[in-house]
């Protein structure tokens, strides 16, 4: 399926820093609950992400990530995930986070 450039522009993809990462025992599959800071204009958002196989909780705090902010909230096992943290599967099918190669200001938008 082809989309227009205008369609792509409507996707709000931004940089944020994980300020808290927690276990998510209620989830059916292994997930973490993340709190991500997207800067003073946006604030923090919650996200559920399938990362336990590749990332330790302590290694996530302070890591900058790329996320989609305007998909709308999603209820995952009673937790409201407010953004989609982006990643791609490795050769084993485990999620590898998409991250900037250098630190950038929180809230920066991909365009």
**Region 5-97: CATH code:** 2.40.50.140
Over residues 17-33, mean pLDDT: 95
The answer, yes or no, to whether residue 94 has pLDDT greater than 90, is: yes
The answer, yes or no, to whether residue 111 has pLDDT greater than 90, is: no
Cβ count within 10 A of residue 100: 12
Per-residue model confidence (pLDDT) at position 24: 96
pTM score, two decimals? 0.95
Question: Cβ distance 15 to 68 under 8 Å?
Answer: no
Which DSSP string corresponds to 38-50? --TTT-EEEEEE-
Per-residue model confidence (pLDDT) at position 83: 98
Per-residue model confidence (pLDDT) at position 13: 98
pLDDT digits (tens, 9 = 90+) for 49-80: 999 999 999 999 999 999 999 999 999 999 99
Consecutive H or E run containing 9: helix 5-9
């Amino acid at each position: 399926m082809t989309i227009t450039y205008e369609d792509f522009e409507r996707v709000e993809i931004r940089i944020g820093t994980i300020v808290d990462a927690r276990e998510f025992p209620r989830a059916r599959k292994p997930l973490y609950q993340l709190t991500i800071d997207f800067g003073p204009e946006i604030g923090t958002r919650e996200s559920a992400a399938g990362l336990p196989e590749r990332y330790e909780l302590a290694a996530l705090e302070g890591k900058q990530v790329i996320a989609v902010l305007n998909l709308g909230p999603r209820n995952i096992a009673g937790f409201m995930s407010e953004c989609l943290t982006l990643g791609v599967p490795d050769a084993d099918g485990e999620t590898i986070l998409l991250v900037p190669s250098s630190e950038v200001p929180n809230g920066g938008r991909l365009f």
